[in-house]
Homo-oligomer: A and B are copies of this chain.
Amino acid sequence: MSTPSGEPQWLSDDEQRAWRAYLRGSRLIEEALDRDLQSHGVQLTEYEIISMLSESPRRRLRMSSLADLVVQSRSRLTHTASRLEKRGWVVRESCLDDKRGVELVLTDAGWQAVQDMARVHVASVRRSVIDPVPAPLFKALGEAMDVIRATLAPGQEGGHPAVAREAQELESDAQADVRRSRVF
């Protein structure tokens, strides 16, 4: 054994095939979805941000939680949030309790934008990703990805911590008409 810890455990043929299919497929998905959202002048990562906000109880989320949710660095989110703010889609509000914290709030204009874009986007996701794959296989894909999620980001099960509590909290809210957000 000359190298540190000897020969690595290379991939089997099956593993390699699957892994390469994943790598290439994931890039193609990103490309396709991004392209379709360009028609509305947003990137997928920006859409993710505002759509997450749109689903949150008071259409707001702390920078940190949001960053974790969409898997972006704090710094990146700061920059992107500023861009979204310039467009008038979000506003920053400082947290009442923790004065270090900042909450990103979706404006009415932002809400409307999400609603519009969601139509395009859901069609795009269907066409590129969901429709071509048989339902059971797609479900398996979801399970596999959730295992990976659990491995790489343990302790963030729901994905969106807020959504679980949404119904009760919002029921008597002015925005109750939102009901289960269909921004998917």
| Residues of the B chain whose Cβ atoms lie less than 8 Å from the Cβ of A126 | 9, 11
Interface residues on chain A, number (Cβ under 8 Å): 62
Q: Is A176 in the interface zone, CB < 8 Å from B?
A: no
Other-chain contact of A18, B26, B142, B151 (Cβ < 8 Å): B142
Q: Which of A114-157 contact B (CB under 8 A)?
A: 118-119, 122-123, 125-126, 128-130, 132-135, 137-153
Other-chain contact of A147, B20, B133, B148 (Cβ < 8 Å): B133
Distance (whole angstroms) from the CB of A95 to the closest CB of chain B: 25
Number of this chain's copies in the complex: 2
The answer to whether A130 and B19 have CB atoms under 8 Å apart is yes
Per DSSP, are chain A's interface residues mostly helix, strand or loop, or mixed? helix
Interface 0/1 of A141-182, CB less than 8 Å to B: 111111111111100000100000000000000000000001
- 14 A-B residue pairs with CB within 8 Å: A3-B119, A8-B119, A9-B123, A14-B142, A18-B141, A20-B159, A21-B145, A21-B149, A24-B153, A25-B149, A26-B30, A31-B71, A129-B148, A140-B140
